[in-house]
Amino acid sequence: MKRLVTIIFMIFAFMVSACSTAITPVMNVAEISEVDLQKVSKKGEDCATFYLPFILTIGPFGSTSVMKAARKAGISKVKLVDHEYHYNFFTFRSCVVVYGE
């Protein structure tokens, strides 16, 4: 019985331990007052989804590419780039959002 509890604990510990990542801000940050928001007419996003992020992370499904997000929205000149994160117990969704003309 003691061995079974130890094995179950080890399996659980293995499942909840995962590689961690740190998302750092982009270093070439522009002053928002310098961007003409009247010309920002298009918005595109590209998302990656992870399943069971707190138990056993499965994924990513998709990507978070600025180029793909701009291409999806038909943006030829990117003005702003933003990130969105959506968490719940079963999924984690990371999106890059681009704005431009």
Query: How do residues 52-63 score in pLDDT, each as one tens digit?
Result: 877 778 888 999
Higher pLDDT residue, 91 or 11? Answer: 91
Higher pLDDT residue, 2 or 31? Answer: 2
Q: Report the mean per-residue pLDDT for the chain.
A: 81
Mean pLDDT of 78-92: 85
Residue 88 has a pLDDT of 80
22 confidence band (pLDDT: 50, 70, 90): low
Containing 88, the helix (H) or strand (E) segment is none
Give CA–CA dist 35/73, Å, rounded: 19
Residue 2 has a pLDDT of 85
- Look at residue 25 and tell me whether its pLDDT is greater than 70: no
